[in-house]
Structures are given as C-alpha cells and as structure tokens.
Structure 1
Amino acid sequence: MAGTYRWVPACLNQGSIPPGALRVGTDADGDEIYAGRAPHEGEIVPAKVIPNKNVCFISFCGEEILKDQFEVLVPTFFAWQFASNGELPPGAVNFGVTADGERLYYGRVTRDGLTTPGKIQPSHGCCYFPLDGGEQSSTEYECLVLI
C-alpha cells in the first residue's frame, strides 16, 4: 500500500487544498467536500474539509468541531463500498485512531440527498459524521477502500 496515497498538511488560512485531493461529498449548498483528518484530544479523527467555506469539521463526543490544522488526503486508487453495523469491506484503510488505540476508518453517509463524510468506529457499529452543528450517526454507510 505504500505510495498509493499521502496526507498533505493544510490549514484554514491557506484558502486552498492540494491538487488531486479526494472529493468525498457535497454540502447542502453544493460546495465540494474533501477527505481530511485532524488531531483532537490525543486522537487522529477523520474530517470533512470544505474549501469554499474555509472550514474543516470533525465529529467528536456528540459535537461538530471546527479544526484549523488538518491534513488532506491525496489518493491514487480508492473506491467506495457499502457496509453496515461497524463492518469493514476488504481494503478498508485505517485513517485515524482513538485515544484507546482503536482504528478509525473513513466513511460517508447519504441522507436527504446530501453525502457527507465521517468516521467509521467498528466497536460502535456505525459511521459518525458532523452535520448541522452536531454529531450524527448511521449504521449504513460507504467505506473508503484501497483498490
């Protein structure tokens, strides 16, 4: 898997993301959402990056949290595969880790016609995602996999 993707440091005051960044969804007003990750309270958490709004959000302990320092995923060969109830399809790539050492995976959920990224936490049986100022969850999601 080495060399098939890389994490590129970014921050909100840069106003842009690296070329080739992985687009993972669309916000309610049509803005593009990109795959990211950010450190938070000893963890590395999957994030959604919306360059047009100059924001990066993670979902954590029931909240949608704005992050200034983050990394953006620049992939080579990725695809989305449906999964549910904390299951991971073959090729799921570890994108973060909890303070207790549990691996987190990049997921996305489509709800009411909107697709937004989040974190799959297998032990919780769901994908958490930041939306409308809070943390939402879904037991059905798509998982980002390396092909």
Structure 2
Amino acid sequence: AVTGISTSVLTTPDIHCSSDHTMSAIQYKRPARWVPAKSGYFPRHPVSGGEGPDGEVFVGMAHHEGAYVLGMVVPDHGCCYIPYGGDAIPKSEYFVHGSHGVCYVPYGGKEHAHKHYEVLCVRNVPCRV
C-alpha cells in the first residue's frame, strides 16, 4: 500500500539453504518512498525523470482505473501524466518518488549510505552466448 513517507524496515526471514546451513536474516530499507502530492506540489528531493519539453520532470505515480500507474510529474503543469490507452492522462492527485539523496551500498548485512557517488551508464552492453 502507498502511504507516503515510510521509515520502516523490511526484514527477510532466516533462509534454510540446506540441512546444515542457515543464512541469517538481513534488514533492508524500503526501496521506494512515495510522497502524496497534488496540484504541482512535490517534496524537497524528488527523483528526476529527465528532461521534458517544458524542463525537468520527476518520477510520479497516480491511481487510475483501480491500479497505481507510473508517470511523470511536470511542475509547471501542476499534475502527473500517466500513460493509459495511448494517451497521457493528467492527474491532479498523485505521488512523487522522493529521494533519500544518497546511494545505499550493501555490505556486511547492512546498507551503508553514501552522499557522494558516481553512476556508470552505457547504452549497449555486448552480450555473447
């Protein structure tokens, strides 16, 4: 369920790999933080979705026809556009994907936050079979 900012922690149960080996439970932070918003509002640290014709857009989500659909929040338009039936449907009530502003690196059964990091992006990665 989408309930806004979440500070709870997900915990995996003990995993039994074989009769003589058990992996310990590992705790993870929730992978996404969705902040309720409407009419152009968005949180201090929204996740960028790239550049649109009218400037930067942000990752959003809105309820439509019984489901939550990912879309893009356009601040100057005051809405989140979701794709549906070949059209861009504007929604005035939506959720914005809020960023923690860090990169989490799993190590030693914990997630360590790093404020300064780099991401390598490549268009195509050749795969050989």
Q: Per the shorter chain, which TM-score range?
A: 0.5 to 0.7
In structure 1, the gaps of 5 or more residues are: 85-147
* Structure 1 residue identity aligned to 2:43: P
Structure-1 separation of matches of 2:95 and 2:120: 20
The alignment partner of 1:64 has SS state of: strand
Structure 1 11/80 Cα, relative in aligned 2: closer, same or farther at 3 Å?
farther
Matched, 1:45 2:69: yes
Matched, 1:20 2:58: no
1:83 is displaced (CA, Å) by: 8.6
1:22-63 CA deviation, whole Å, 9 max, x = no partner? 01111113x210000011001110010011221210001111
Instruction: Say how many residue pairs are matched.
Output: 81
* Structure 1 residue identity aligned to 2:96: V
Q: What is the TM-score when the length of structure 1 is the normalising length? A: 0.47
Q: What is the TM-score when the length of structure 2 is the normalising length? A: 0.53
**Greater share of residues in strand:** 1
The match for 2:86 among 58, 62, 67 is 62
Q: List aligned pairs for 1:93-108, cutoff 5 A.
A: none
Structure-1 separation of matches of 2:95 and 2:80: 10
Q: List aligned pairs for 1:60-99, cutoff 5 A.
A: 60-76=84-100, 77=103
In structure 2, the gaps of 5 or more residues are: 1-27, 105-118, 125-129
What RMSD over aligned residues (CA atoms) do the two structures have, in Å? 2.6
Higher RCO (C-alpha under 8 Å, 6+ residues apart):
1
The match for 2:58 among 30, 34, 38 is 34
